[in-house]
Structure 1
């Protein structure tokens, strides 16, 4: 017996209603991206392995989907590396490309490649699919859509402020008022690592902190003990367990480091700005926020639901001062944020935030009484469509009950009935599919009757 067809794990098909809801989110995103002065670009699904690898840390590199070389290139496979257990060398010998893991590294490549064709600071947004070889679970997929906004070519903290405001504006328009926008700074995390004796293992220290929501404080401390023996476990535990973090306390323990002072000053500027210009959602400093990606160098941002933390972050980003230098473009600071479309969708679905009208596949349906009747209606249907209202013409001349059933399943508002009796009298019968009521109007009044309602 043949198996029924199915998707690869971690991927999905989208039915019309699902896609309508996803597009509702995307349309709000795209409108606000433009309102905040961003221009749209696209980059290929495929990138060279040299572009992707080494930018996301060891864990991220492991999750990059590698694409097998084709044709004669397969003959270059380094079998000796496979036999010796050197899997990284073996993979490099059979794969020169990968599916993009995010939109930020391809952006850095794009900016470097097209630097003479764009004007800085360059504000771009991008809405495209990315792929990660992660274990599929609730809210986590192997193929998903990222919606990014980045500014390249400006060091100003105003960019972080604008991006946080963009987050709040978009989520407010989507119906959220119970979110928390967390901020931290990579320089603070680096100084924290040095203060607790992990200066030679900064990346590993930050990676451990990044797991705190998944594994808890105790297990994070166990990992940090492997990085440094010379630290006050009690002091670090108190810092990581605190519900509220005091920037003033950090300023005291970081008193000898100008980089951390600069970072604290930036965070203070952001928090001070929003204490005057209030957000709908909450903003707070969180010392445990790490954002695991290696390319972040400054402010880092993450957005979570206060009432549904199971779904994880629905947005995140930060500043990267030297990402483009990996592509031979020096001194080009950037900062950006990403909206997690799929998680936003799930959270909106669970919170019942989608408007009811999205349930409609079309607004009006024309019942079919034969092609000659439809010929008389055609000019009016065209006029209704020209007013951006959806009209579906039922394709077959079958029993009216079957046509009504079809309209009901698609949540149509009105069925337009133009049978022989209506044709003789020069009228149209309109059936309200919500109430079941029927009314009539003159044929030449059809457009005005439907589009004014």
Structure 2
């Protein structure tokens, strides 16, 4: 007996209902992206390995799915190399391509490759799947969609202000109240590392700090010690873990802590500009907050960084994030090209909306009306009417077989089709509302009006 087929861990099949709900979220995002002036692009699902490797830090590199070379992938590997079992040496010889880890690095590659065709500043959005060899858990998958909006070619902090507004606009239309948009600045983190004497451990410092919500304060300190950050440095950094108050109050306390760091003070000035203007312009539903422990462990961020968390009543990790990356295109040979962007976590946003019951009931209605099928002549008349309905943007179909009427009705009920045309006589249609049981006799013009 053949074994039951299955799919890899961390991946999912999506039913028609689930796809309809995902498309609902995507359509709202796409609408707001375009209202804010962002243009769509797409990039390949896999890139050359050297495009991706080394861009996400050591931990990120380990989560990149490598693709074996086609044909005899061991052709370039000697027997001596095979015996050493050194996977780092072997990987470069047997795999030259990898599935994309995110959309930002491929976007940077796109900008460099197509720079002569692009009008800068360039505002793009991109909605495509990415892959990470992570441990699957609730809200964390190995294959998932990212929905990104980025601007390259401008250092203006108004872009950060606008991106906060973009987050807020999308979440407001989705009906999500109380979303927290956390903000920090990598220059502040660099300044802190400088004043505690750990500038040479900046990456280790930020990677550990970024895990605060997962492993707690003690876990973060333990990891920092293991990475060679001194006990004295940890004493100096202690105020970070206890920073409270309004954004203004937090920035004032940081100003004292970072008084000897020029880079740190620049970070404070940038945050002050962004937060002050966002506050003056106002937000619809979201809350902006300064989180000085927010680090986002990706190496390419250089300025403001964002992380978005769901409303408190939902136990979910971040549902979005991003930041400024002044040096990203430089790794592909295009210097002095500042960029900033954000990402929406489609899959987690879906789970949040599901848990809060925020999907409109109409989202999952694929077909508005189904015509019953009695016989060939009746079916032909039904198909003539269906064609007219479809020309009027009404989703209509006919049950394909002249089956028992009860079976056809049950099919419509299980499909969630709200209306059924029972009979057609003298160009009049008997329309039944499945939910209420109400029946109406309508001509074609009135039928269109009723279903529109």
TM-score by length of 1: 0.95
Q: How does 1:64-83 map to 2 (within 5 A)?
A: 64-83=64-83
Counterpart of 2:112 in structure 1 is 112
Structure 1, unaligned runs of 5 or more: none
Query: Which stretch of structure 1 is more off in the superposition, 242-251 or 13-22?
Result: 242-251
Query: Which stretch of structure 1 is more off in the superposition, 17-26 or 439-448?
Result: 439-448
Q: Would you say the 8 A contact 1:56–1:294 is kept in 2?
A: yes
Distance change (3 Å), C-alpha of 1:78 and 1:105: farther
Counterpart of 2:14 in structure 1 is 14
Q: Would you say the 8 A contact 1:197–1:230 is kept in 2?
A: no
Which residue of the other structure, out of 259, 264, 270, is the alignment partner of 1:266?
270
Shift of 1:171: 0.6
Distance 2:336 2:38 in 1: 21
Distance 1:86 1:444 in 2: 74
Give me the CA root mean square deviation.
Answer: 1.6
Counterpart of 2:241 in structure 1 is 240
Query: Which stretch of structure 1 is more off in the superposition, 257-266 or 39-48?
Result: 257-266
Q: How does 1:329-340 map to 2 (within 5 A)?
A: 329-340=334-345
Deviation per residue, 1:371-419 (Å, 9 max, x gap): 212322333322211222110211011111111101111111110122x
Distance 1:281 1:207 in 2: 27
Deviation per residue, 1:334-376 (Å, 9 max, x gap): 0000000000000100010100012323111111112212322
Distance 2:241 2:82 in 1: 42
Deviation per residue, 1:250-274 (Å, 9 max, x gap): 1122223222221111100111112
Shift of 1:87: 1.8
What secondary structure is seen at the aligned counterpart in 2 of 1:116?
helix
What secondary structure is seen at the aligned counterpart in 1 of 2:28?
helix
Shift of 1:81: 4.0
Counterpart of 1:327 in structure 2 is 332
Distance 1:357 1:2 in 2: 40
Counterpart of 1:23 in structure 2 is 23
The answer to whether structure 1 residue 356 and structure 2 residue 361 are counterparts is yes
Deviation per residue, 1:111-170 (Å, 9 max, x gap): 000000111001000000100000111100100011000001100000111111000000
Distance 1:157 1:275 in 2: 14
Q: Would you say the 8 A contact 2:392–2:448 is kept in 1?
A: no
Q: Would you say the 8 A contact 1:184–1:289 is kept in 2?
A: yes
Q: Would you say the 8 A contact 1:319–1:335 is kept in 2?
A: yes
What secondary structure is seen at the aligned counterpart in 1 of 2:117?
coil
Q: How does 1:281-430 map to 2 (within 5 A)?
A: 281-308=286-313, 310-418=315-423, 422-423=424-425, 425-430=426-431
Counterpart of 2:440 in structure 1 is 439
Distance 1:12 1:195 in 2: 47
What secondary structure is seen at the aligned counterpart in 1 of 2:318?
coil
The answer to whether structure 1 residue 186 and structure 2 residue 191 are counterparts is no
Distance 1:108 1:232 in 2: 35
Counterpart of 1:45 in structure 2 is 45
Query: Which stretch of structure 1 is more off in the superposition, 377-386 or 429-438?
Result: 377-386
Distance 1:329 1:372 in 2: 68
Distance 1:442 1:284 in 2: 58
Q: Would you say the 8 A contact 2:320–2:343 is kept in 1?
A: yes
Deviation per residue, 1:270-311 (Å, 9 max, x gap): 111122121121001100101111111110001002415632
Structure 2, unaligned runs of 5 or more: none
What secondary structure is seen at the aligned counterpart in 1 of 2:160?
helix
**Count of matched residue positions in the alignment of Structure 1 and Structure 2:** 447
TM-score by length of 2: 0.95
Distance 1:341 1:79 in 2: 45
Q: How does 1:193-232 map to 2 (within 5 A)?
A: 193-226=193-226, 227-229=228-230, 231=232
Counterpart of 1:275 in structure 2 is 279
Deviation per residue, 1:306-346 (Å, 9 max, x gap): 41563200000000011111111011010000000000000
Shift of 1:444: 5.6
Distance 1:368 1:394 in 2: 6
Q: Would you say the 8 A contact 1:300–1:318 is kept in 2?
A: yes
Q: Would you say the 8 A contact 2:372–2:408 is kept in 1?
A: yes
Q: Would you say the 8 A contact 2:10–2:136 is kept in 1?
A: yes
Counterpart of 1:93 in structure 2 is 93
Shift of 1:14: 0.7
Distance 1:443 1:300 in 2: 57
